[in-house]
Amino acid sequence: MNHGFWRDVWSRAPTWPDQDPMVLKTMRFEHNVTGRNFDRNRRDALVTERLTKSTWILNGYGFCGNTGVSEYAGGGDISAAIWKKSPLNPDYRIAIDMTTREQLIIGVQAAIGLAELHTFDDKDRPSVAHTDITPGQFVKVNDRFKLNDFNRARFIRVSKNHSLCSFAISKNPGKNRSPEEYTRHALLSEKIDLYSLGNIFYMLLQKQWPFQEENTKEAQRMVKHGYRPSFYEDVWNSTDPYTVALKTAMLRCHQQDPRDRPTASELAYFLKQKLDGLEPGLIASWGEPFASR
């Protein structure tokens, strides 16, 4: 059906009538079966299993080694909601017409999914960081975008003095990451996910990837030194309440100092509050409790 960098995705025939469709994920033949690769898929399976209670995380039904069975997401991902391939040039993407209401709804759902991940073990502190938040990690099942793909996840430990432990990641490629991820030997926290989520909000609003016209090295340098991607003037100056809410959330996520960024729960609460004010009853129709932060 499809593939990511590490695994191929296969359709799985139903075992009995009316069974929900599922997919089988197997390691791509170009990758070796190594302890490191096994550990990636172990982390993915562990996080998925712990979050089966959440309706905002893609369901996992089992795993063995580098192979896993999970829920089928037939609605595409956030990238597919923003862009489509050009019929004249498959390498060129065309922005899809989307209302500002639709943009905010997708942003709210992504924020809820990230909050569910960060706080699955304790609602008052982060337990795990995704570390690879991109539009392709949120896939649509029926009426909602669900977060998945946790093979790069980092589990956050608590020290003897009850403070959260930081972590390090050796390679942080691309243009979609936080300033600290592009800083050599930096100690990281779950707040890197908030910065990357802010980039998704940017893509929803601007219909472009951050620093789309810059080469990767220059984009990373700019992010590290406090620069942020530019906006079309009409988008930046818009007074549309849906746009203002999403832009405000993006700016909070894009704070240079990770300590100044909101927690995932705070961000989800802020966005749910804004959407509930504009669309009373919509969040309740998702079965989403609103009064928690």
As a dihedral over the C-alpha atoms of residue 169, residue 170, residue 176, residue 178, rounded to 10 degrees, the angle is: 60
Residue 15 has pLDDT above 90, yes or no: no
Pick among 1.10.510.10, 3.40.50.970, 1.10.1200.10, 1.10.357.20: CATH of 78-285: 1.10.510.10
How confident is the model over 256-260, as a mean pLDDT?
98
pLDDT level of residue 293 (50, 70, 90 thresholds): very low
Classify domain 2-71 at the CATH topology level. Phosphorylase Kinase; domain 1 (3.30.200)
Q: Domain limits of the chain?
A: 2-71, 78-285
Whole-angstrom distance, CA of residue 173 vs CA of residue 188: 15
- pLDDT tens digits, 171-230: 889 999 999 999 988 999 999 999 999 999 999 999 999 999 999 999 999 999 999 999
What does the DSSP assignment read for 125-151? S--EE-S---GGGEEEETTEEEE---T
CB 12 within 8 A of CB 24: yes
CB 247 within 8 A of CB 206: no
Its pTM stands at 0.94
- pLDDT tens digits, 106-153: 999 999 999 999 999 888 899 999 999 999 999 999 999 999 999 999
Identical fold for domains 2-71 and 78-285, yes or no, is: no
Whole-angstrom distance, CA of residue 72 vs CA of residue 247: 31
